[in-house]
Structure 1
Amino acid sequence: MRRIRYDRPGGPLFLEEVAVPEPAPGELLVRCEAVGVTLPVVRKVTEAAEPIALGGEIAGEVVAVGEGVTRYRPGDRVTGLCFGHGYAEYAPLLEAMASPVPDGASAVDAVALVRSGLVAYGALEAARPAPGEAALVTAAASGVGHLAVRLARLRGASRVVGAVSDPAKADFVRSLGADEVVHYDDTDWGEPVDYALDAVGGELLSPAVAALAPGGRLVAYSSGGGTIQAYDLLVGARSVIGFQMALIARGRPELYEQWRQELWRLFTEGSLRPAVHAEYPLAEAEEAHRAITSRANLGKVVLVP
């Protein structure tokens, strides 16, 4: 089979031919029909000290199961987070991380909705939104951010502000339901908001905190780091909440499943549909990563092996 790897930090990414893996106990072997490209994996290619297995969101058909697997069998369609080599034609998937793909949804729908949607949904839950509150979403055109904009609107936000890296993304973000769009370099982000969902971190944390109304909440779920001054929180009694999906998946699997079912319910009724920026063949993984690093994407970036 074909899979993507790299030999040194920073890449380049290239195709290699390897044997199809055997599923270990508790694993499914999935024939990948779609692979989601995420910012954390893209960052690891350039930042990790040693090359890593390119894992992430996968969706496709189960072709074999390992010892002890009881919930799935060959022929089932599943999606989930792969911790091994996921940029491949076949990939291992822990049964505990798998969920079924419902009829009427494609593999691309699944990788665009489930993991990114779970992060967006969880970050929104962490903000404890009340109907009628105003929301700010940074990286509003990203794979997670565009779903966060839509979910905030579905949860009753009276006003949704999308923050973007490029003013050219404004029309796309407005099409998602945002009332206003601001650029990261703007000095005025408009009227204060009650909560902000930040996927960027770094230098954007300060203006995101400054955009909060008194008592406002910032949910930080970025892998980009950054520092917030305590004084900026004291003024206006603002707060910052950290959110990490892995802690929910490991520590509260019942809540993880509840959120996942809600996402599929919204998808099935037609009120939440993911936007896909582009579908790249496996051989163009480098281009897919470039779409993320250049901040060019409008919605989810997907590899289609």
Structure 2
Amino acid sequence: MLRIRHEVNGGPEVLCAEEVDRPEAGPGELLVRTEAIGVTLPTVRKVREGSGPVSFGGEVAGVVVAAGPDVAGFAPGDRVTGLCFADAYAEYAVLGTAMASRIPDGASAVDAVALVRSGLVARGAYEAGRVRPGESVLVTAAASAVGTFALQLARAGGAGRVVAAVSSPDKAEFVRGLGADEVVLYEDADWGAPYDVVLDGVGGDLLGPAVRALAMGGRLVAFSSGGGTVEAYELLVRGASLIGFQMRAIALGRPDLYARWQRELWEQRAAGTLRTTVHEEIPLPEAARAHALIEQRRNLGKVVLVP
């Protein structure tokens, strides 16, 4: 089977394709013939910033071809999606059942990788921010896969003002189409502050400005892999809160909530109140191009690899 390998640190240019044996499903695992693979910012960052070879994780969607020992509730022929923590960039991937869910009839594999993981992160960050009707919400990385859902959730949830923060003005029309009332650029002075809630998917050097954009009593939800530091004084003078959110903690610690959120995402999509946005479907051997799109902040929505 075809698999994408990363040999050394240095960026997308060090990704290459290789032929390897098909893996086997272990206890509690499914072997999936992939039809779509989601590219995530954390994985792209690992390639650029890591000190050694990276095993590519990511969302996968496809058909179960084999189930390992101790698997219940899934069988060969099922269409599933879920998050693989290693070797996701391949024609066949091993998916743990704890991270797997069925794809509804009528939905494609591309729909699944565009909706489920990114939608879950957006839903979790939105819930962590405890957004109340009428409050103002700023979403950073608003044109990203997660950001597109965060905008829609804030709009549908009754936020009084929804603002998208993006890297370039050519993304403004796109994010307005997803519910943003206003658009600000990262280089702008105050990002149109203040905001009751900031949902930050960037981190790093933008974490400081995100805190300074908070209103008195505001809440900043940090859910990116970009790190960053915050001056405690900036929170103190605003009476503000900094909340960290990680989806894996919900998936493993609250499987009931994880399953309910997934179900509700599909229901919202079927009802037309939540839509997926896919920037491009890229052939698996061109994974380096997919990484470059995200690293250069050129994507509008999800970037998907297709075997």
TM-score range, shorter chain: over 0.9
Structure 2 counterpart of 1:157: 159
> In the aligned structure 2, how far is the partner of 1:124 from the partner of 1:75?
34
Structure 2 counterpart of 1:71: 73
**How many matched pairs?**
305
> In the aligned structure 2, how far is the partner of 1:39 from the partner of 1:189?
23
> In the aligned structure 2, how far is the partner of 1:6 from the partner of 1:238?
41
Residue 10 of structure 1 deviates from its aligned partner by 2.2
> In the aligned structure 1, how far is the partner of 2:157 from the partner of 2:37?
29
Deviations 1:272-298 (A, max 9, x none): 111000110001100000000000000
Structure 1 counterpart of 2:125: 123
Report the AA paired with residue 8 of structure 2.
R
Deviations 1:191-212 (A, max 9, x none): 4211010011112112211221
Give secondary structure in 1 for the equivalent of 2:107. Answer: coil
Q: Give 1:7-86 correspondences, 5 Å limit.
A: 7-11=7-11, 12-86=14-88
- TM-score, normalising length from structure 2? 0.97
Stretches of structure 2 lacking an aligned partner (at least 5 in a row): none
Report the AA paired with residue 108 of structure 1.
V
Does 2:287 align with 1:250? no
Report the AA paired with residue 97 of structure 2.
E
Report the AA paired with residue 284 of structure 2.
L
> In the aligned structure 2, how far is the partner of 1:53 from the partner of 1:201?
23
> In the aligned structure 2, how far is the partner of 1:49 from the partner of 1:210?
33
Report the AA paired with residue 2 of structure 1.
L
Q: Give 1:1-305 correspondences, 5 Å limit.
A: 1-11=1-11, 12-305=14-307
Asked whether the equivalents of residues 63 and 77 of structure 2 are also in contact (C-alpha less than 8 Å), the reply is yes
Deviations 1:210-247 (A, max 9, x none): 22111110001111111111111111211111111111
> In the aligned structure 1, how far is the partner of 2:29 from the partner of 2:85?
11
Stretches of structure 1 lacking an aligned partner (at least 5 in a row): none
> In the aligned structure 2, how far is the partner of 1:56 from the partner of 1:142?
15
- The farther-off stretch of 186-195 and 26-35 is 186-195
Give secondary structure in 1 for the equivalent of 2:238. Answer: coil
> In the aligned structure 1, how far is the partner of 2:190 from the partner of 2:82?
40
> In the aligned structure 1, how far is the partner of 2:99 from the partner of 2:158?
30
> In the aligned structure 2, how far is the partner of 1:188 from the partner of 1:126?
24
> In the aligned structure 1, how far is the partner of 2:54 from the partner of 2:228?
24
Residue 97 of structure 1 deviates from its aligned partner by 0.9
Residue 52 of structure 1 deviates from its aligned partner by 2.2
Give secondary structure in 2 for the equivalent of 1:92. Answer: strand
> In the aligned structure 2, how far is the partner of 1:102 from the partner of 1:254?
18
Deviations 1:19-53 (A, max 9, x none): 11111121111010000000001111122222121
Give secondary structure in 1 for the equivalent of 2:54. Answer: coil
Percent identity between matched residues is: 66
Q: 1:191 to 1:225 in 2, by over 3 A?
A: closer
Deviations 1:57-95 (A, max 9, x none): 000011111111111111110000112211000100011
Asked whether the equivalents of residues 139 and 164 of structure 2 are also in contact (C-alpha less than 8 Å), the reply is yes
Asked whether the equivalents of residues 7 and 54 of structure 2 are also in contact (C-alpha less than 8 Å), the reply is no
Report the AA paired with residue 28 of structure 2.
G
Report the AA paired with residue 250 of structure 1.
L
Residue 188 of structure 1 deviates from its aligned partner by 3.0
> In the aligned structure 1, how far is the partner of 2:129 from the partner of 2:30?
35
Residue 173 of structure 1 deviates from its aligned partner by 0.6
